[in-house]
Chains A and B, each alone.
Chain A
Amino acid sequence: MRRALNVEFLKARRSTVVLVTTVLIVVLVPLLCLGFVAVAKAGGAGAVALKAQVMVVGEGWEAYLGLLAQIVSIAMFIGPGVVVAWAFGREFSDRTFPSLFGLPVSRGSIATAKFIVLACWGLVLTVLTLVATVLVGLVALGSPAGIDLAGWLSRLLVGGFLTSMIALTIGFVASVGRGYLPAFGALILLTMITQIAVLFGTGGWFPYAAPGLYAIAGAAGVAEVSVVQLLLVPIWTVFVGWLTVRWWNHAEVV
């Protein structure tokens, strides 16, 4: 396993897809939030301004972090989802899968190593995004006096990381679909289904929506997500991960 981990870590470290996704999320997410807060505060009747006014609740840091929670719930699914789709799907699209046979390291170990490296990267991505958020907030909004910053950040950390974790399940579609295009399709479909589940009020029980709702619940008056509902996220991720590893161990070259 250590050998597979070293190889997957090297591939992730050298990957342009991982680098670009990291930079885009860490830099753009806080700036996007800040921009929306500014647009909402400026008022106006344009389409963007009206949308911003609906999304932004409260003032200053509260508005900024509340909006961040909403954006993180999507960005931390789409961004890591694209990377997961690429990490698994590229072995088929680039035709490297046959070269993973005939090795003393099993294909299941290689798939497990991918999951571990991507889960660690998801945690690092979440932490970096929050660090950037605080720095941008300090520069643009000043001191976060009067808000429970630690409470906000811990919610965003749990919500963001769990969202990136549930994105690992995209690896199953990329494997069974033997490429990243089916996985991109699944990513779009799951994003739509998540929105529908939230609209119908059942998002708490839907593992793809629960972490985002947990992050948002602190600000927008959304119902709290229970521990049991949150636990469904790692349970579902581990189950789909197990299915993926099993598939990798038994898959044939076609």
Chain B
Amino acid sequence: MPEPLEARNVVRLYGDERAVDGVDLQVRSGEIHAIVGLNGAGKTTLMRLLLGMVAPTSGEARIGGADARSARADVWRQVGCLIETPFSYPELTVTENLEAAALLHGVDDIPTEVARVIDEFELGHWANKRARALSLGNHQRRGRAAALVHRPSILVLDEPANALDPAGVVFIRDLMRAAAERGAAVMVSSHHLDQLARVADRITVLHRGRDIGTLDPNGVDLEQQFFDLVYRDDRERELA
């Protein structure tokens, strides 16, 4: 049985820059796998690789058991993702944006699913407003609603708590936990450890493109452990 998300010794170069450098990683059904790292660690590139947004220089990036660059529609139907900017067209209303996302995600009962996410994400007040009129926080919430309108079983979220207020952060954490409890594989990145530790089942630390270790989500003083891993890796690279 293939894992929903799997990187096998995956490498991605941008010129001389090794954005992702030989990463092996799996995200299983029903778990939240958090990727943490400093800015430029390779978190977004790794997610892009697993979503077929970029091709690996070497190694394999697989989703739903298929190569991420050539996976078929039935695989993508199960995937919800939020990488960088959300699905958003400023000329459309919030409802129209969600309907468009539902259409492209292959949802059959579009009115029901759109009404569900509008309710879940508390977007009712803005439902008929143009997306360009939303505040940054509501814009982000609408983007998350678009990524989840089709009840995906593979969820890839890059910095999902960005621009959210504390209530929004709690909401996102609950949402990821609920998705995992219904069997979804959730991959989430952040550079804020405290946002993830409370919900993650596994935490992988990326640094300068490499997987440099894992953190126990139930461990104490995660920040200290994180920086210990990072500084140790930096020292090893300097000595090498």
A189 within 8 A of B: no
Cβ-closest chain B residue relative to A90 = B89
Which bucket holds chain A's interface residue count? 20 to 34
Check B92–A10 contact: CB distance below 8 A.
yes
Is there an interface contact between B91 and A253, defined as CB atoms closer than 8 Å? no
Interface residues as binary, B64-92 with A (CB distance below 8 Å gives 1, 0 otherwise): 00000000011011011101111111111
State whether the Cβ of B156 lies closer than 8 Å to any Cβ in chain A. yes
Binding site for B on A (CB under 8 A): 3-4, 6-7, 10-11, 14-16, 94-96, 98-106, 110, 252-253
Residue of B nearest to A252 (CB): B54
> Taking the nearest CB of chain B, how far is it from the CB of A108, in angstroms?
12
> B104 near A4 (CB under 8 angstroms)?
yes
Whole-angstrom distance between the Cβ of A61 and the nearest chain B Cβ: 40
Which of A11, A102, A104, A253 lies at the interface centre, i.e. has the most chain B CB atoms within 10 A of its CB? A102
Cβ of B113 within 8 Å of any chain A Cβ, yes or no, is no
> Is there an interface contact between B53 and A252, defined as CB atoms closer than 8 Å?
yes
Prevailing SS type, chain B contact patch: loop
Q: Measured between C-beta atoms, what is the minimum distance from A117 to chain B in Å?
A: 13
Residues of B in contact with A (beta carbons under 8 Å apart):
48, 51-55, 73-74, 76-77, 79-81, 83-92, 96, 99-100, 103-106, 146, 156
Whether the Cβ atoms of A253 and B80 lie closer than 8 Å is no
Bound form: Cα–Cα A11–B91 in Å = 7
A residues within 8 A CB of B146? 99
Instruction: Out of B80, B81, B88, B92, name the residue touching A14 (CB < 8 Å).
Output: B92
Cβ contact within 8 Å between A99 and B77 = no
Complex Cα distance A11/B93, Å?
11
Contact B88 A101 (CB under 8 A): no
C-alpha spacing A215/B54, complex, angstroms: 46
Is B84 in contact with A103, judged by CB distance below 8 angstroms?
A: no
Q: Contacts A3-B106, A103-B104, A105-B104 hold; do A252 and B92 have CB atoms under 8 A apart?
A: no
